[in-house]
Structure 1
Amino acid sequence: MLGISIFFLSWFLLVDVFAVWRFAQLPKLSVSLREMFSPDPTFGVSVFTKEYYDHLQASAGRVVFAFLIAVSAGVVIGILSGWNRWFRAVCQPLLELARPIPVLAWIPLVILVMPSRESAVIALTFLAAFFITILNTMLGVRSIDEVYFRAAQSLGFSRWAILRHVVIPGALPFIFVGLQIAMAACWFSLVASEIVSGTAGLGYKVWEAYYYVQFETMVIMILTLGICGYISSAIIRRLGAYLMRWRGKTLGGVA
């Protein structure tokens, strides 16, 4: 709360109060917040208007859908890549080739392949989370000490039992770190894809508000993106803490 307060106080002083050079071009914080919470906003968008929630719903739906697909596919491929060296030898070179390519570079190809703008936006959002999830999951599996695999085999564990009781629990800390990063990647890639291919959504509205010099509306959408990203990451952290509560007990017992 202190860090957030310092940020908004700096914004208020630099723009609203002293109008410091260059910062004076930014929208005033007081005006933006008044517009955000106004029942009758100047540019027609506030937390009291239907249009605001239409854009919010469009973006949130795309992020959730793309994130779930990315997690489902990325975790499976990541586990196989970390656990099976033949699978890793086949997939890793292709993944390492595709992973550094930014989302903006994929836009023309995705638009050509996808049947609609909506599917193109979801596909671009998916790509950003997909590679992050694979990499962190693979690193999580490969970080497991080989002694656990030998112990499981000596106890007669099947490969399915090793996957369930050794691989997945051992990789979970890395997986959930990757999911937090992947969720953030979903939100910022969503904005880029909505600007280019979207017809609704928070990112689309950011660009439209800038184009029509509605800077206060632009600030409202940017703040909403930040709040959504923060909440979604917090949900993933809580879910991770719940699923890995055994880890805290184990570490506590060791200590």
Structure 2
Amino acid sequence: MSATLDLAARQRPVAQEPAVTGAAARYAPMRRRAWRAGSIVLFVAAWQAAVHYRLSLGIVTFANVPSPADAIPALWALLHSPKLPMHLAASLTRVLAGFCAAAVVGVGLGLAIGRYRALEDVLLPPLEVLRPIPAVAWIPLAILMFPSSELSMMFITFIGALFPILLNTIHGVEAVDPRLVATARGLGTGSLSLYTEVVLPGAAPSIFTGLSIGMGTAWFCLVTAEMIAGQCGIGYFTWESYTLQNYADIVVGMALIGVLGMGSSLLVKRIGAALTPWYRLRGARQ
């Protein structure tokens, strides 16, 4: 396999970037974090100003929208509510169950479809027909298919996460340099070793991109399912707040969904970066 790795090293262009040393290198991560935190502060300040001055853009008005100042007491009350652990545990369990199932099925099917044209011709067309169907359209069928609402909501998150993972895995497998595959076969690599030592490492960056996107869509689909079929969870809390006209709680629920989705997607991305040390993004990023 050393010849395979040598060929990959020769074929991969290495971008020449100016070296950053000294104090600039030490403070660059801190400066980026400051910019990111500042962008969030600026967004919240713009939101507060739009609500305070009842900004109206014609078809969009902020006259009835809760402000950040209204949401902070509601968030404080939720953090001290005994219902918060129940809502978080329910949503996290549903997301993780659906996402893990989607990861196993999506990566497995993607590796197979990406390598074999016969499987692509047989399996990909029906999957492409199912892919555009929105998650909300699956809810009535999921309720009929599964004996409990919990399983139906896990199925909705599974459907939401499956297709980004599947398509990114297929793309990653198809993007593997065929010369690497030919070299590995010329060295006598078996079918299983070809997958584990050439195809899977080559497709891993795309796979983890799909996993990160799939985690975000799993949260999106879970909220849709909880609004209709759930009795607890962050999505159910958000919808219940609307029906009870607790508008500040709607903002709190949306913020929790955003933070949980962003955090879980970032975690998947960091795990992917740790497991693919041979891959680094290259490009003219300023």
- TM-score when normalising by structure 1: 0.92
In structure 1, how many angstroms separate the alpha carbons of the residues matched to 2:109 and 2:144? 26
- The answer for the alignment partner of 2:54 in structure 1 is 19
Question: In the alignment, does 2:211 pair up with 1:192?
Answer: no
1:100 matched to 2:112? The reply is no
Residues 146-204 of structure 1: per-residue CA shift (max 9 Å, x gap): 10110001000000110011110000111011111100100010010111111110111
Find the partner of 1:236 among 260, 265, 268: 268
- Equivalent residue, structure 2, for 1:90: 122
TM-superposed CA distance for 1:35, in Å, is: 2.1
> What are the Cα deviations for residues 124-154 of structure 1, in whole angstroms up to 9, with x where unaligned?
1110111111111011000111101100010
Q: Secondary structure at the match of 1:23?
A: coil
The letter of the residue matching 1:24 is A
What is the rounded CA distance, in whole Å, between the counterparts of 2:280 and 2:154 in structure 1? 36
Q: Superposed, which structure 2 residues align to 1:195-234 within 5 Å?
A: 195-234=227-266
Q: CA deviation at 1:237?
A: 1.1
The corresponding residue for 2:89 is 57
Same amino acid, percent of matched pairs: 35
Question: Aligned residue for 1:113?
Answer: 145
One of 110, 114, 126 as aligned partner of 2:158: 126
Contact 2:216/2:261 (CA < 8 Å) preserved in 1?
yes
For residues 79-133 of structure 1, give each alpha carbon's deviation from its aligned partner in whole angstroms, at most 9, with x where no partner exists: 0000111111110111111111111111111111110111111101110111111
Aligned partner of 1:135 among 158, 167, 181 = 167
Normalising to structure 2: TM-score of the pair? 0.82
Distance, in Å, in 2 between the alignment partners of 1:116 and 1:110 is 9
5+ residue gaps, structure 1, are: none
Offset, 1:3? 2.1
SS at the partner of 2:278?
helix
**Contact 1:47–1:53, Cα closer than 8 Å, also in 2:** no
State the AA in 2 paired with 1:82: G
Structure 1 residue 56: deviation in Å? 1.2
Report the counterpart of residue 28 of structure 1 in structure 2: 67
CA RMSD of aligned residues (A): 1.3
How many residues get paired?
A: 242
d(CA) in 1 for partners of 2:271, 2:163: 21
Tell me the distance in 2 between the aligned counterparts of 1:24 and 1:247.
48
1:167 has 2:206 as partner: no
In 2, the alpha carbon distance for the partners of 1:99 and 1:118 equals 22
CA contact (8 A) 2:90 2:233 kept: yes
Gaps of 5+ in 2: 1-36
Whole-angstrom CA distance in 1 between matches of 2:280 and 2:175: 18
